[in-house]
Amino acid sequence: MLIDSHAHIQGTEYTGDREAVIARAREAGVDKIIAVGGAGDMSSNAEAVALANVFPEIYATVGMHPHDAKDVGAEELERLRALTSHPKVVAVGETGLDYYYSHSPHDVQRRVFRQFIHMARLADLPIVVHERDATKDAAELLSAEGGGSLQGVIHCFTGNYEAARAYLDLGLYLSFTGIITFKNAEPLREVVRKVPLESMLVETDSPFLTPVPNRGKRNEPAYVRLVAETIATLKRLPLEKVADVTSENVCALFGI
């Protein structure tokens, strides 16, 4: 059993063949998919929840990407807060900080991230964090605002081992994508070798970051198997062990 812990299959990229994509995931041994809201606009959240209503193996998260923090006000927060009570919503996110692109001002990103941390605590849900070039601020906010009990995952982790350690020390999981299969990703593969499997999730971030040998094509949840296989090779473990432990981690984090 594998679980794709982060995919955006509610997106328009799958409008023509979404059911076939989900069927291919099943055939590849992907037992569950977390459809993550917050990428692009608010509608992605309701669409993720709607998808989870239709397919028993799909669960949803609700939030807004840090790129769009500038568009998050009281009305948006209230709509998302209402969605957190849905029985198949298993986390708040994705949310976080992205200082690489800075599509929203850094102070606005921090304010909105703080609000989402509070939302997760109020709803007693874990948090799905997007972080790029902002480890110090993200770790500080998660520590200061998380109340010492906040659970969550740093999705698509691409930092160094020092950054990994900062998040692991907060009790968070790290999730890895097809990036670990890329030719130029040896520093990240070295992090994979060092991070305990018990702290790892696997994901596709579909439709993005398609792993080798399918790079250049649209990504889909079935390809999470390629991520797990790469981790198994790097850690010299059977694929079954990687699949079992990362799936157990997802179930423990998201309560499914």
Q: Which CATH number fits domain 2-254: 3.40.50.2300, 3.30.1360.120, 3.30.750.24, 3.20.20.140?
A: 3.20.20.140
pLDDT at 148: 82
The full set of domain ranges for the chain reads 2-254
Is the pTM higher than 0.95? The answer reads yes
- 54-79 pLDDT, tens digit per residue, is 999 999 999 999 999 999 999 999 99
3-state secondary structure 70-131: HHCCHHHHHHHHHHCCCCCEEEEEEEEEECCCCCCCHHHHHHHHHHHHHHHHHHCCCEEEEE
Q: What pLDDT score does 40 carry?
A: 74
Instruction: Report, as ranges of residue numbers, the positions in the chain whose pLDDT lies below 70.
Output: none
What's the pLDDT score for residue 147? Answer: 81
Cα–Cα distance measured from residue 8 to residue 207, given in angstroms and rounded to the nearest whole number: 7
pLDDT, tens digit, for every residue of 70-128? Answer: 999 999 999 999 999 999 999 999 999 999 998 999 999 999 999 999 999 999 999 99
Could you give the count of Cα atoms lying within 13 Å of 84 in the half-sphere of its Cβ?
24
